[in-house]
Chain A
Amino acid sequence: MEAKKEATTLSSMSNMPLGRVEPDTSRGGTASIGKAVKIAGQIYSKEDLYVDGDVEGTIELLDHKLTIGPNGKVHAGVKARELVALGSIQGNVEASERIEIRKDARLVGDIKTARIVIEDGAYFKGSIDIVKTEPKVAPSQPPRPQPPPAAPVTAPLVATANTADAKH
């Protein structure tokens, strides 16, 4: 796939090798893709992500929240803990906790989630599967002391794509 970067408003994308996007987790905030940015490829994030630009490919934020801003145009399969859509999404969406489709948003695709909120005025075409999440069972015995954590995982946000065309 090809990655096209038309502007550098992807907040976590400074000083990194091409094809590998690492958000600035020290800020503990949300990575964002600005409205002048277009990405074709795979996005994998370990922090919340705000997309107000164009994304084509796949987006995975398994334990985090994805927000598609009002200018966002996503043509991708999406997996996240939570999704809030204000812009446009074309593709299948899986959210383990919740999906919100706001007024004026547009979602075309099949949805799998535990909870869904659809505001009046939103456009939705597709199917909705409500998946019951299993409640977490409390351990019967006190937890054992944990070994020290492994080396920190890098690349919380990875754009895996052939970035030969990406120009700064």
Chain B
Amino acid sequence: MLSDRLRNFWNGGGAPVNAGPPRPVNSSRLVARPPRGEVEETRISRGLDQFFGSFRDQSGLSILDLGGACQENVNFITTLGHKFYSEDFLRIFEETFDDIADQSNSRRIDSFLRRSLEYPDEQFDGVLAWDALEYMEPALLAATVDRLLRILKPKGYLLTMFHSSERKAMVSCYTFRIQDPRTLQVTQHGERAAAQRLFNSSRLEKLFQKFESVKFFLARDSLREVIVRK
């Protein structure tokens, strides 16, 4: 039962299996719905393995987690001897943008980036963006990726994930908790409006074209884990 619902996430989110007829949604609204009960799954992540593998035998690095602070990630990263930085990126996203049209408004975009990613250039060795970029429309997404490029150190890494393989009005949202260098616990905690486009490999390559390298891991259930290096 649980794995059915989680499998639905890795298939691109949407209503859970056997959830009955789809509910009408206002796809222009961005606010996440309250959870209908949390669902968890543990899975292997090659992207995470690659991310922390690139920092092996190093300590004292600066790692930014855009998923908000969760105990497991704080423990994991600080135990490795790194400094942990936290941004509750999607909460700020929801507080800043009322609807999809707002995401093209340059003033709103500037305000959002000031609140969420106002850091000196080349501050971070690594950024864990999880699925935060997936909910953004093109103008906002491009500005966010540019800012991420700016705050990463040269040779720094960004890990992000895109799980849409088909267009959906609403997708589930998740918390990603690091269990070990290659295992994630994924907790579903509600739904939010999906971006109005799909992220296939060529789109993702174009999105990260200013980075030195882009690597995909196509995981089961059409999940794309993306590691980019500045």
**A: which residues have CB within 8 A of B?**
101, 116-120, 122-130
Q: Taking A117-B71, A130-B78 as contacts, is the C-beta distance between A125 and B83 under 8 angstroms? A: no
Instruction: Give bound CA distance, A129 to B68, whole Å.
Output: 16
Query: By the criterion CB–CB under 8 Å, are B83 and A129 in contact?
Result: yes
Nearest-neighbor residue (CB-CB) of B177 within chain A:
A120
Q: Is the CB of B71 within 8 A of A128?
A: no
Residues of B in contact with A, size category: 10 to 19
- Tell me the minimal C-beta distance from B82 to chain A in angstroms: 10
B83 touches A128 (CB 8 A): yes
Q: Is the CB of B68 within 8 A of A123?
A: yes
From DSSP, what is the main secondary structure of chain A's interface residues? strand
Instruction: Type the 1/0 row for B55-86, where 1 means its CB is closer than 8 Å to any CB of A.
Output: 00000001000001111001000100001111
Say whether A128 contacts B70, CB under 8 Å: no
Of chain B, the residue at the smallest CB distance from A123 is B88
23 contacts between A and B (CB under 8 A): A116-B74, A118-B69, A118-B70, A118-B71, A120-B175, A122-B69, A124-B68, A124-B69, A124-B86, A125-B86, A126-B85, A126-B86, A127-B62, A127-B83, A127-B84, A127-B85, A127-B86, A128-B74, A128-B78, A128-B83, A128-B84, A128-B86, A130-B78
Which residues of chain B are near A129, meaning CB under 8 Å?
A: 83
Chain B residues lying within 8 Å of A128, measured Cβ to Cβ, are 69, 74, 78, 83-86
Residues of B within 8 A of A116 (CB): 74
Residues of B within 8 A of A (CB): 62, 68-71, 74, 78, 83-88, 91, 175
User: Are A124 and B88 touching (Cβ within 8 A)?
Assistant: yes
Minimal beta-carbon separation of B217 from chain A (angstroms): 28
When distances are taken between beta carbons in the complex, the residues of chain A under 8 Å from B68 are 123-124
Task: Name A101's closest neighbour in chain B (CB-CB).
Answer: B69
Known: A128-B83, A128-B84, A130-B78. A123 touches B71 (CB 8 A): no
CA distance A101 to B70 in the complex (A): 11
Q: Which 7 A-B pairs have the closest CB atoms?
A: A124-B69, A130-B78, A128-B84, A127-B85, A118-B69, A124-B86, A118-B71
Residues of B within 8 A of A120 (CB): 70, 175
| B78: chain A residues within 8 A (beta carbon) | 128, 130
Contacts of B175 in A (CB 8 A): 120
A116 to B85 Cα, complex, angstroms: 14
In the complex, A125→B68 CA distance in Å? 8
A130: B residues at CB distance < 8 A? 78
**Measured CA separation A93–B93 after assembly (Å):** 26
CB neighbours (8 Å) of A118 from chain B are 69-71, 74
